[in-house]
């Protein structure tokens, strides 16, 4: 039985957990990350590697600002990781596009963007509505069915596998500990200290950060935190490596720096069924080929599915416990986009012992709407 202690324990070794853990380690904190094993759900494995701003924040204007902030801080994250690990995560921000395959679809998207930007407190950032011809100037290979697109210069993408590796390497370089195969079952607390335990033993910590994705729903209540999250499946297709042809990431089609083309990603409410289904990947492939007909001849070498961690309104949950001071919670489904904010802002606030006031909209208390009399 293992009995260890640390200063801050982070539960969850995905993108959120390792971003926060590295951020804490950079501030000189002693951090231990507890992770599950090789076959855990791992929402991070299903990411599309986008650093995406457009279309975010409808229903919570501050989230758009939070996302813009992160997109602007991404270059700093990339260069810090490169300095500390020598790993180049290939972050690029050429701007990104969302393509529509019918006039009706295009109109719905444009209307959605207008509603988004008409919100009060909405941050102003540039975006362009493009017709077929204008889209074709940016993307010469689009097919005739592309009705139009929305372009935003703040969108980009990154090599998320390298990001993951860099975060782990940077955490280790800063003296952080990573402990796999340590699923946390119970969290107890006494006299301001926490004990996380499982079949492997226990880890004692002065502060804890719950970044366990779907596991937060179970762990949160043990320390007075609420995390009503559900799994939401997304399937992805990856092709063989091809010579560079796509200079901009699209929200559902992007070419990685290694050459493979990623096509995604479905949105399905199928519980914990983490499988690939033919009709969905056929639909995804069909849309991709209608966007870029020349992709039809590329070979698909891989598909996979992963479960996003989705809150009721789709926005992150950042919280600190009132009943168990020192317990924090962080969950979102945009772990790549928000990595800088998690590493630089959230980590700093946790180290200081208190989440900033402007993160209040992300508390889970927003889900307890008082009943009308």
Residues lying near other proteins in the complex (CB under 8 A) = 13, 35, 37-39, 44-45, 100, 105, 108-109, 112, 161, 164-165, 168-169, 172, 178, 180-181, 237-243, 245, 251-252, 258-259, 263, 266-268, 275-289, 294-305
Cβ proximity to other proteins: between 10 and 355 the closer is: 10
Closest to other proteins by CB, 100 vs 331, is 100
* Min dist. Cβ of residue 273 to other proteins (A): 11
Query: How many Å apart are CA 357 and CA 279, to the nearest integer?
Result: 45
For residues 22 and 362, which CB has a smaller minimum distance to other proteins in the complex? 22
Q: How far is the CB of 236 from other proteins (least distance, A)?
A: 10
User: What minimum distance in Å lies between the beta carbon of 196 and other proteins?
Assistant: 18
* Least spacing, CB of residue 169 vs other proteins, in Å: 6
Closest approach of other proteins to the CB of residue 338, in Å: 19
Which pair of tokens denotes residue 188? 């107890």
- Shortest reach from residue 14's CB to other proteins, in Å: 10
**Contact call for residues 210 and 12 (beta carbons, < 8 A):** yes
Host H or E run for residue 197: strand 193-198
Two tokens at 48?
Answer: 């599309």
Q: Which is nearer to other proteins, 102 or 322 (CB)?
A: 102
Contacts of 38 (CB under 8 A, 6+ apart): none
Nearer to other proteins, 8 or 251 (CB): 251
CA distances from 312 to 59, 93, 307, 309, 366 (A): 12, 30, 15, 10, 10
Q: Which two structure tokens, joined as six digits, stand for 265? A: 């990603």
The bridge status of strand 148-152 relative to strand 128-131 is antiparallel
Give the residue with the Cβ less far from other proteins, 41 or 328.
Answer: 41
* Angle in degrees, CA 23, 26, 30, rounded to 5: 90
Q: Which residue has the tokens 């070979």?
A: 299
């Amino acid at each position: 039985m293992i009995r260890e202690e640390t200063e801050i324990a982070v539960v969850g070794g995905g993108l959120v957990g390792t971003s926060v853990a590295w951020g804490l380690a950079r501030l000189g904190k002693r951090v231990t990350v507890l992770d599950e094993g090789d076959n855990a759900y791992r929402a991070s494995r299903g990411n599309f590697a986008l650093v995406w701003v457009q279309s975010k924040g409808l229903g919570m204007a501050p989230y758009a600002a939070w996302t813009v902030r992160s997109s602007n801080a991404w270059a700093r994250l990339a260069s810090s990781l490169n300095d500390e690990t020598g790993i180049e995560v290939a972050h690029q921000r050429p701007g990104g596009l969302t393509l529509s395959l019918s006039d009706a679809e295009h109109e719905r998207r444009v209307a959605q963007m207008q509603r988004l930007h008409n919100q009060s407190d909405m941050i102003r950032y540039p975006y362009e509505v493009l017709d077929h011809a204008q889209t074709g100037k940016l993307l010469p290979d689009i097919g005739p069915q592309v009705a139009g697109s929305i372009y935003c210069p703040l969108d980009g993408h990154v090599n998320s596998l390298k990001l993951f590796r860099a975060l782990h390497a940077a955490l280790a370089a800063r003296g952080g500990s990573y402990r796999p195969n340590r699923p946390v079952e119970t969290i107890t607390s006494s006299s301001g200290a926490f004990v996380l335990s499982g079949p492997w033993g226990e880890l004692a910590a002065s502060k804890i950060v719950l970044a366990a994705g779907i596991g937060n729903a179970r762990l949160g209540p043990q320390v007075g935190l609420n995390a009503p999250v559900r799994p939401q499946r997304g399937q992805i297709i990856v092709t063989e490596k091809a010579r560079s042809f796509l200079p901009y990431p699209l929200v559902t089609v992007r070419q990685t720096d290694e050459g493979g083309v990623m096509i995604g990603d479905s949105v399905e409410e199928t519980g914990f069924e983490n499988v690939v289904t033919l009709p969905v990947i056929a639909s995804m492939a069909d849309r991709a080929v209608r966007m870029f007909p020349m992709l039809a001849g590329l070979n698909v070498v891989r598909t996979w599915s992963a479960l996003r961690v989705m809150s009721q309104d789709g926005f992150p949950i950042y919280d600190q416990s009132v009943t168990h001071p020192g317990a924090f919670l962080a969950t979102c489904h945009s772990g790549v986009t928000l990595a800088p904010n998690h590493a630089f802002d959230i980590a700093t606030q946790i180290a200081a012992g208190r989440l900033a006031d402007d993160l209040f909209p992300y508390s889970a208390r927003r889900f307890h709407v008082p009943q009308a009399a």
